[in-house]
Structure 1
Amino acid sequence: MTLFMAFLLFTLSIVGCKAKPVSEEIFRQSQSSPPFQGKVLEEFEKELTELVETVSPSVVTIFATQEVKVSPFDEDFPFPVPFPFQIPQERRSLGSGVIIGMHGDKFYILTNNHVVQNAKKLRVKLDEHTEREARIVGTDPKTDIAVIEVSAKGIENPQSRIARLGDSDKLKVGQLVIAIGNPYGLERTVTFGVISALKRSIGILQYESFIQTDAPINPGNSGGPLVNIRGEVIGINTAILAEGQGLGFAVPINLAKWVASQLIEKGKVQRGYIGVVIQDVTPDIAETIGVKEGAIIAQVAPNSPAQKAGLQIGDVIVAVDGQPVKDVRDLQMRIMRTTPGTEVVLKVIRQGKELQVKVSVGEMPEEKETARASEEGGDLGLALRDLTPTEQARLGVRGVLVTGVTPGGLAYQSGLRPGDIILSVNNANISSVDDFKQAIEKAKSTGKDKVLLLVRRGDSNMYVVLNLR
């Protein structure tokens, strides 16, 4: 080979070689950096993703369709409407649920009462490709728990869809939890946090002992599971505080299971009852009576199990069957879950002396309730009953008692809470649920979207503006 040919080949070889991109060189250097040996975190992350993959198939989306009637004329309509005119419209709400078991070819799903109440149609989305009609098995507004059923036919390996339920009585503040649900329709969204507090009461239900968590939940999460790090459902996500950040509340699974078992077996919840009005032992009361914990009796109902057993106003109940009673909620939950006909032994402090009182627990009387204030209007999320003659005499007022307020509903947003007594609507006195309903209908027939309520809360009266739509 001549010197010229050798030079030509060398030149062509240089021209044929392309320089590597700068970015490739930079990223090559980044890969050469030593990796962080976070074995514990990697294992935690792996287990967390496996946990979510295991639990997620049990979480469903619930679509509830309600029929509401609305006026086509708003406040800006230029002409007076001589007669009420409303047109029916369908309203679709969304929530979550968790499959807790099977019977035959049916899945049983645990969810919130406020997700399914008053639904004309109910559909459940089991997965991306399966959506079916569902039926309500039973609802309980007092704890905001409901059970629905849906066909499991054609579902591959249906047993794998059933969630494992834990023991909420063993929970501790600080434990890690995961919330799974459908916030704003974003299916099977997973959020992570800790248990912030236990046995919380926020004044939206008649029976409350919420698990408080900072795992973010939003509208649409209602009815979905709160899960521990073992993949066990330990709560049913129920409520948020609109004015709070990172505050979610779940019904403990043990309470939800107790309610669900009765709804499945009986179609309703049978509660224990002894017939007393009780209040917490406040520091001032404790200083006066020398008892720090328990529930003090403020009233004994006539012909009630409590009266027959000899309980008296001023008695402080400090234990049930040897188990200490810390406060009103503690006693309330224990008696509620006692089977009617069961005899319990109450440890009572009366004028400084300790007594053992045997009480045969009765069944809580049915209350006259309405889950919506008006048969014609939209759902206010309000449960009411008439005051009894005894209550009217004791309180010195006539009105209707608020026994339940649906979380996030119109009544809740307006500020009404269980225990409130509604005395008047638009300055017209009321004395029954029928009076209340008629007043609401009258307001709606004239195109009003709000009414002014006079409410007794505790020992004080206050005005509340109730939004009707």
Structure 2
Amino acid sequence: HKKGKFYILTNSHVVQNARAITVRFDKHTEKKARIVGTDPKTDVAVIEVDDKDIPDPQSRIAKLGDSDKLKVGQLVIAIGNPYGLERTVTVGVVSALRRAIGITQYESFIQTDAAINPGNSGGPLVNIKGEVIGINTAILAEGQGLGFAIPINLAKWVADQLIEKGKVVRGWLGVVIQDITPEMAENLGIKEGVIIAQVMPGSPADKAGLRVGDIVVEIDGQKVNEVRELQFKIMRTPPGKEVNMKVIREGKEISLRVKVGEMPEDRQVGEQDQTQTDIGLMLRELTPEEEKRFGVKGLLVVGVAPNSLAMQSGILPGDIILQVGNRPVYSVKDFQQSIEALRQGGKNSVLLLIRRRGNNLFLVLRLR
């Protein structure tokens, strides 16, 4: 709350397509709100509303906690309007931390068994001190007691930038990275770090000399054990700052200095025309540069939800969907329409043509 305005945290998916937004303070008080900014990469949004005629505005400000101090087993309380039932409160525990479920580009969800249902999105997850430690965001509908919230520290970092700049500025390397599986660890003889699967031409990583196959094991003195650690470290690094990286290349450790760039607008993966359906795919259209590089037109699989139909069908992040049945797909809308038509026609599966690692491959995608 500042300069006569309330700034309210919520989910991007709650407000991004809204024609009008109303904030209800109590049974008799409503205010029209304005979107300050949205960030679909984290599913965080900020809206604002003036405090005129709102009694005692300071008492309405939620205290934000520190999500980095959360521990598994800690009691938490979810507040929201599930199915339109206003001011519903449910209680549970922190079931797990740093979860990724394949619905946004940057994920480090708090998992809780506090009951979360449609309508809870954008509401607070609080600790027993009444401090907000997360934003309720998603559920896995096929399970019970599987709710997910964005950590408040991540939400604060995003919100501060949306309020100050109207957008989120992220550090960018220009690489595709993946975790090292047990099979890869045995083959490579290394059990730490993340491996670089792709380096974008002309990117900061390319200019610094990073190569496909390099294994990043350390950045600025901090060990790297999983993709998320490197991803979030670079995301929070101001563009223009140099970082020190240690990589394993052909069995030898080498040190590199990398000048972090700013993530370009045309690489805002998942911000426009993305879909996360019950099939479990997050898709986006290829950029013109990617079409030229890969030599195809289609949809890039950005994420695959765990235990989803897509995962069970063998689709992987990084795959490029070229055809659904015998129909080429060039947009997310094409894909959605094709799947919906097949389902309405009673189909339980469809043959996909995909491009994987430079080769075409047919897969059967289950639809139910």
- Tell me the TM-score normalised to structure 2 length: 0.84
> Alpha carbons of 1:393 and 1:283: their partners in 2 closer, same or farther (altered >3 Å)?
same
Specify whether residues 465 and 189 from structure 1 end up closer, same or farther in structure 2 by C-alpha distance, changes over 3 A only: same
Contact 2:11 2:44 in 1 (8 A): yes
Do structure 1's residue 158 and structure 2's residue 158 form an aligned pair? no
Unaligned stretches of 5+ residues in structure 2: 276-280
| CA RMSD across the alignment | 3.4
1:423–1:429 CA contact under 8 A, matched in 2: yes
**Contact 2:103–2:282 under 8 Å retained in 1:** no
1:147 is matched with 46
Which residue does the alignment assign to 1:384?
284
SS in 2 for 1:135: strand
**Which has the larger Rg?**
1
Aligned to 1:16: none
Residue number among 324, 327, 341 corresponding to 2:226 in the alignment: 327
* CA-CA distance at 1:450 after TM superposition: 9.5
Alignment partners' CA distance in 2, 1:440 and 1:198: 32
What code does the residue aligned with 2:178 have?
Q
CA contact (8 A) 2:100 2:107 kept: yes
Q: Look up the match of 2:23.
A: 124
Could you tell me which residue of structure 1 aligns to residue 97 of structure 2?
198
1:288-316 deviation line (CA, Å, top 9, x unaligned) = 32321211111111111111111112211
Amino acid across the alignment from 2:157: W
Pair 1:454-2:352 in alignment: yes
Q: Separation in 2 of the partners of 1:320 and 1:370?
A: 28
- Matched with 2:71 is 172
For residues 69-121 of structure 1, the C-alpha deviation after alignment (integer angstroms, 9 at most, x for no partner) is: xxxxxxxxxxxxxxxxxxxxxxxxxxxxxxxxx12121100000111121111
Q: Partner of 2:278 in structure 1?
A: none
Amino acid at match of 2:285: R
Q: Is the 8 A contact 2:199 2:205 kept in 1?
A: yes
* C-alpha distance in 2 between matches for 1:251 and 1:458: 32
- Cα distance between partner residues in 1 of 2:158 and 2:273: 22
Cα displacement string for residues 378-421 of structure 1 (whole angstroms, at most 9, x for unaligned residues): xxx97622255556655x75312255799xxxx9xxx9997553
Once residues 346 and 160 of structure 2 are traced to their aligned partners in structure 1, the CA distance between those partners, rounded to angstroms, is: 39
- Alpha-carbon distance in 1 for matches of 2:162, 2:367: 32
Whether the 8 Å CA contact 1:195–1:211 is kept in 2: the answer is yes
1:216 is the counterpart of 2:216? no
Q: In 1, distance between residues paired with 2:61 and 2:31?
A: 17
Match of 2:246 in 1: 347
CA contact (8 A) 2:322 2:355 kept: no
Give the whole-Å Cα distance in 2 for the aligned partners of 1:282 and 1:196. Answer: 24
Residues 382, 197 of structure 1: CA spacing in aligned structure 2 closer, same or farther, 3 A cutoff? closer
2:106 counterpart SS class: coil
Corresponding position: 1:421 with 2:320:
yes
CA, structure 1 residues 213+419, in 2 after alignment: closer, same or farther (shift >3 Å)? farther
Give how far 1:224 is off: 0.7
Give yes or no for contact 2:135–2:149 (8 Å, CA) kept in 1.
yes
Q: Is the 8 A contact 1:384 1:404 kept in 2?
A: no
Partners of 1:212 and 1:383 in 2: how far apart?
A: 24
Secondary structure of the residue that 2:265 maps to in structure 1?
coil
2:285–2:298 Cα contact (<8 Å) kept: no
Counterpart in 2 of 1:135? 34
* Cα distance, 1:190–1:440 mapped onto 2, change above 3 Å: closer
* Structure 1 match to 2:203: 304
- 1:244-393 maps to which residues of 2 (within 5 A)? 244-367=143-266, 371-372=272-273, 384-390=284-290, 393=293
In structure 2, the residue corresponding to 1:285 is in which secondary structure?
A: helix
Mark the CA change 1:440 to 1:194 in structure 2 (over 3 Å): closer, same or farther.
closer
Instruction: Please name the residue that 1:29 is paired with.
Output: none
Q: Which moved more, 1:208-217 or 1:385-394?
A: 385-394
Residue by residue over 1:204-235, the C-alpha shift from the partner in whole angstroms, topping out at 9 and shown as x without a partner, is 11111111011111111101111112221111
| Counterpart residue type for residue 386 of structure 1 | L
For residue 371 of structure 1, report the CA deviation from its aligned partner: 3.6
Higher mean alpha-carbon deviation, 364-373 vs 237-246, is at 364-373
Change (3 A) 1:249 1:272: same
1:229 corresponds to which letter in structure 2? Answer: I
Give distance in 1, aligned partners of 2:87 and 2:16: 22
Describe the shift of the 1:425–1:352 C-alpha distance in structure 2 as closer, same or farther (beyond 3 A): closer
> Aligned in 2, Cα 1:173/1:437: closer, same or farther, shift over 3 Å?
closer
Counterparts in 2 of 1:44-123, with a 5 A limit?
Answer: 102-123=1-22
Q: Secondary structure at the match of 1:211?
A: strand
Q: Work out whether residues 111 and 224 of structure 1, in 8 Å CA contact, stay in contact via their aligned partners in 2.
A: yes
Q: Relative to 1, partners in 2 of residues 1:363 and 1:449: Cα closer, same or farther, differing over 3 Å?
A: farther
- TM-score w.r.t. the length of structure 1 is 0.67
Q: CA deviation at 1:331?
A: 0.7
Letter in 1 for 2:40: P
Q: Secondary structure at the match of 2:91?
A: strand
- Establish whether residue 187 from structure 1 lines up as the match of residue 91 from structure 2: no
Report Cα offsets for 1:146-198 as digits up to 9, x if no partner: 11111211111111111111111121111111111111111111111111101
Distance of aligned partners of 1:246 and 1:438 in 2 relative to their CA distance in 1, 3 Å threshold: closer
Q: 1: distance between equivalents of 2:110 and 2:355?
A: 26
Is 1:177–1:229's contact at 8 Å kept on the other side of the alignment? yes
Secondary structure, counterpart of 2:38 in structure 1: strand
Q: Sequence identity of aligned pairs in percent?
A: 64
Q: How many angstroms apart in 2 are the aligned matches of 1:128 and 1:420?
A: 50
Superposed CA deviations along residues 113-152 of structure 1, whole A, max 9, x for unmatched, are 1111211111111122211111111111111111111121
Question: Using the alignment, how far apart are the partners of 2:340 and 2:186 within structure 1?
Answer: 51
After superposition, the C-alpha distances for 1:351-388 in whole angstroms (9 at most, x for unaligned) are: 222222110000112237664479xxxxxx97622255
Which residue of structure 2 aligns with residue 229 of structure 1? 128
Match of 1:40 in 2: none
Letter in 1 for 2:17: N
